[in-house]
């Protein structure tokens, strides 16, 4: 453990950046760092976060060199890891992704259905650009990407940058597993080993064991059948974003998602596909999750950063370590130290799901080491999940093809195929509105 690492956080101005920096500082004994750089394409937004983080670093780990920049060469030179969480179009565009479909009675969501497709069309170019910078300035580095919509981004990088050293990861299974562990009286999800398969934000647990190999599924199912992923006592990690009322609704709704297939345990995001209409009825078309986040997390994080700068100390800040983001350190460590940790990652199927499209980007447990992830075979998947996944993976592939070929037709097909959209006419109306709203960000379609 002699080597100290240099990392760049791409999307330095993200609301998650301070929590992740605090988390990295808390884990320096496990993952030593010599340099942290921030990179963003919006200097003014990044500056607020960077000025505060510079003070945090000075107080907690003055030996770590800190750089915040909008210059790709400065950002991407001399780094071992790129931790990427960009949001192309910011919350202003997320708000449109959520509100435009609702005008047509269709749920709008950050990563699912038409909202996710619109966001995907913006993200692909942004993430490819980060890969190109990394390959140019630090060709040996790895990118740990959690920029959304991860499913579409992962398919785009598989297809358009097949050699890239990028690993796509999502924190939702981590968050749900934390809740499962808590529900049955374990201290942490690390006491569990899981079998899981699906696409990103579209998957199921098929087995959960303790380290002695005992089956924990029956106990967890008993809880989920009654409460979904709601807990009698909420988790203490208030720094996690999964604490707002809309998330509490999502965790409770998992009970109904579970009922559709009680042989597995579902990812929370399946509610958008299996209960789309309920979500529309529950939504306020004038105040969506983007509004909740702008009024909540964004105000809080930026407000706290401004206070740190004004006081020139972080001694009294209410910014907290994002403990649940420590999965990012686990992943970086797995690569850096060849730990062979078992983690859920988004990787090319290639036989892991034996009866499913080999080129699909699937979310499955992998053993992670120095040379990247090795997926673990999860066997053939049952007809219900296979049917849903075939449809959804086709949507994701069509979006990437539409982006690459600038094809209106393929994007219309993608929207029409999405389980969330009722028919081709509504798909076209939503598409035409999304094109208008995304002029600045999407390739011109014809
Ligand atoms: P945010 O808007 O606060 O931060 C995103 C930052 O990215 C902004 O500062 C923005 O200026 C910057 N940015 C946008 N386009 C860029 C580009 N092309 N190059 C460089 N920087 C760019 O958003 P947030 O809510 O903090 O979320 C950040 C990202 O992390 C989102 O994509 C979100 O969906 C994702 N996320 C993913 C997971 C997961 O499970 N995979 C979990 C949490 C958040
Ligand atoms: C979960 C998902 C992420 C998503 C986030 C949204 O963590 O795994 O992919 O970005 O929730 O959270 P938000 O608080 O921004 O709605
Ligand atoms: Mn996710």
The ipTM of this complex is: 0.99
| Residue pair 328/27 in contact by the 8 Å Cβ criterion | no
Catalytic residue flag (residue 269): yes
Question: Which of 413, 397, 301 minimizes the C-alpha distance to 358?
Answer: 397
pTM: predicted TM-score of the whole model, two decimal places: 0.98
Q: Would you give the end-to-end CA distance of the chain in angstroms?
A: 54
The alpha carbon of residue 364 and the mean position of all alpha carbons in its chain are separated, in whole angstroms, by: 15
Distance CA 344, CA 372 (A): 13
Q: Take atom 34 of ligand 1 and give the residue whose Cα is closest.
A: 148
Phi/psi of residue 213, each to 5°? 95, 5
What lies within 8 Å, CB to CB, of 63 at 6+ separation is 34
Catalytic residue, from 39, 119, 133, 269: name it.
Answer: 269
Q: Is 243 near ligand 2, meaning CB less than 6 Å away?
A: no
For residue 33, what are the β-bridge partners?
5
Residue among 80, 97, 171, 433 flagged as catalytic: 171
Q: How far is the CA of 40 from the centre of ligand 1 (A)?
A: 10
Atom of ligand 2 nearest to the CA of 201: 8
Show pLDDT as tens, one digit a residue, over the chain (446 residues). Answer: 689 999 999 999 999 999 999 999 999 999 999 999 999 999 999 999 999 999 999 999 999 999 999 999 999 999 999 999 999 999 999 999 999 999 999 999 999 999 999 999 999 999 999 999 999 999 999 999 999 999 999 999 999 999 999 999 999 999 999 999 999 999 999 999 999 999 999 999 999 999 999 999 999 999 999 999 999 888 776 556 688 999 999 999 999 999 999 999 999 999 999 999 999 999 999 999 999 999 999 999 999 999 999 999 999 999 999 988 999 999 999 999 999 999 999 999 999 999 999 999 999 999 999 999 999 999 999 999 999 999 999 999 999 999 999 999 999 999 999 999 999 999 999 999 999 999 999 999 99
Is 133 considered catalytic here?
A: no
Question: Could you tell me where the beta strands, DSSP code E, fall in 155-296?
Answer: 166-168, 192-199, 202-210, 265-266
Q: How far is the CA of 318 from the centre of ligand 2 (A)?
A: 21
Both tokens of residue 239? 């720094």
**147 close to ligand 2 (CB < 6 Angstrom):** no
Which atom belonging to ligand 1 lies closest to the Cα atom of 110?
Answer: 34
Rounded to an integer, what distance in angstroms lies between the CA atom of residue 60 and that of residue 23? Answer: 12
Partners of 197 in the β-ladder: 204
**367 CA → ligand 3 middle, Å:** 20
Closest ligand to residue 167's CA: 1
């Amino acid at each position: 453990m002699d080597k100290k690492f240099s990392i760049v956080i791409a999307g330095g101005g993200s609301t998650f950046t301070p929590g992740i920096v605090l988390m990295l500082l808390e884990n320096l004994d496990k993952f030593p760092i010599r340099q942290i750089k921030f990179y963003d394409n919006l200097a003014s937004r990044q500056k607020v976060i960077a000025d505060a983080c510079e003070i945090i670093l000075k107080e907690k780990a003055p030996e770590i060199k800190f750089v915040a920049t909008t210059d790709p060469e400065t950002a991407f030179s001399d780094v071992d890891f790129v931790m990427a969480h960009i949001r192309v179009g910011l919350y202003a565009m997320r708000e449109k992704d959520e509100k435009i479909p609702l005008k047509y009675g269709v749920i709008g969501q950050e990563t699912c259905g038409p909202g996710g497709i619109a966001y995907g069309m913006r993200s692909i170019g942004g993430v490819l650009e980060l890969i190109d910078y990394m390959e140019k300035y630090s060709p040996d580095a790895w990118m740990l990407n959690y920029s959304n919509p991860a499913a579409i981004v992962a398919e785009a990088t598989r297809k358009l940058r097949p050699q890239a050293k990028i690993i796509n990861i999502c924190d939702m299974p981590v968050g749900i597993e934390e809740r499962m562990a808590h529900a049955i009286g374990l201290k942490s999800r690390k006491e569990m080993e899981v079998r899981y398969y699906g696409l990103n934000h579209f998957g199921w647990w098929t087995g959960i064991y303790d380290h002695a190999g005992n089956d924990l599924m029956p106990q967890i199912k008993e809880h989920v059948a009654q409460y979904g992923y709601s807990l009698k006592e909420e988790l203490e990690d208030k720094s996690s974003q999964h604490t707002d009322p809309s998330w509490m609704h999502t965790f409770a709704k998992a009970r109904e998602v579970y009922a559709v297939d009680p042989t597995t345990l579902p990812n929370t995001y399946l509610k958008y596909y299996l209960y789309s209409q309920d979500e529309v009825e529950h939504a306020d078309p004038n105040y969506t999750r983007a509004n909740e986040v702008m009024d909540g997390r964004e105000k809080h994080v930026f407000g706290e950063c401004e206070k740190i700068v004004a006081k020139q100390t972080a001694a009294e800040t209410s910014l907290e370590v994002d403990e649940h983001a420590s999965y990012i350190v686990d992943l970086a460590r797995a690569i850096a130290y060849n730990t062979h940790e078992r983690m859920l990652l988004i990787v090319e199927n290639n036989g892991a799901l034996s009866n499913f499209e080999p080129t699909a980007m699937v979310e499955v447990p992998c053993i992670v080491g120095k040379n990247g992830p090795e997926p673990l075979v999860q066997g053939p998947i049952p007809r219900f999940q296979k049917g849903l996944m075939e449809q959804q993976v086709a949507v994701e592939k069509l979006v990437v093809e539409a982006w690459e070929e600038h094809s209106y037709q393929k994007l219309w097909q993608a929207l029409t195929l999405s389980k969330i959209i009722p028919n081709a006419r509504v798909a076209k109306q939503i598409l035409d509105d999304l094109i208008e709203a995304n002029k600045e960000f999407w390739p011109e379609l014809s």
